[in-house]
A and B are shown apart, each in its own frame.
Chain A
Amino acid sequence: MTLSGWEAVFFWIFAIAAIFAGLLTVMARNTVHSALFLISSLVSIAALFIILGAEFIAGVQILVYVGGVMVLFLFVIMLVNVGLEERGDAPIFNRSAQVGASLFFCLLMVGGLLFAVNNGVRALENRDQVKDGPTESPADRDKSLAVTATRTSRLSKETERVGASLYRYAALPFEVASVLLLVAIIGSVMLARTIKQEAATDDLAPEVLQDEAKREPELAPFVHEEGESVSDPNA
Chain B
Amino acid sequence: MLSTLIPALILVENEGSRLQTVWDKVQHPDLSKFLVIAAILFIIGVAGVLTRRNIIVIFMSIELILNAANLNFIAFSRYLLQTNNPNALAGQIFTVFIIVVAAAEAAIGLGIVIALYRNKETILLDQIDLLKW
Contacts and interface: CB of A to CB of B under 8 A. Distances in A.
Interface of A: 1-4, 8, 11-12, 15, 18-19, 22-23, 25-26, 31, 34-35, 38, 41-42, 45, 48-49, 52-54, 56-57, 60-61, 64-65, 68-69, 72-73, 76-77, 79-80, 82, 85, 90-94, 98-99, 102-103, 105-106, 109-110, 113-114, 117-118, 120-121, 124-125, 128, 130, 133-135, 161-162, 165-166, 169-170, 173, 177, 180-181, 183-185, 187-192, 194
A53 B81 contact: yes
A49 B40 CA distance: 17
Interface string B96-133: 11011111111110111111011000111110000000
Contacts, number: 245
25 contacts: A3-B30, A18-B41, A19-B44, A25-B60, A26-B57, A34-B60, A49-B74, A52-B34, A52-B75, A60-B99, A65-B63, A65-B102, A69-B63, A73-B59, A73-B110, A80-B113, A92-B52, A106-B43, A124-B79, A130-B82, A135-B82, A162-B92, A165-B89, A188-B108, A192-B114
Nearest to A130: B83
A31 B93 contact: no
Nearest to B60: A38
Contacts of A61: 67, 70, 99
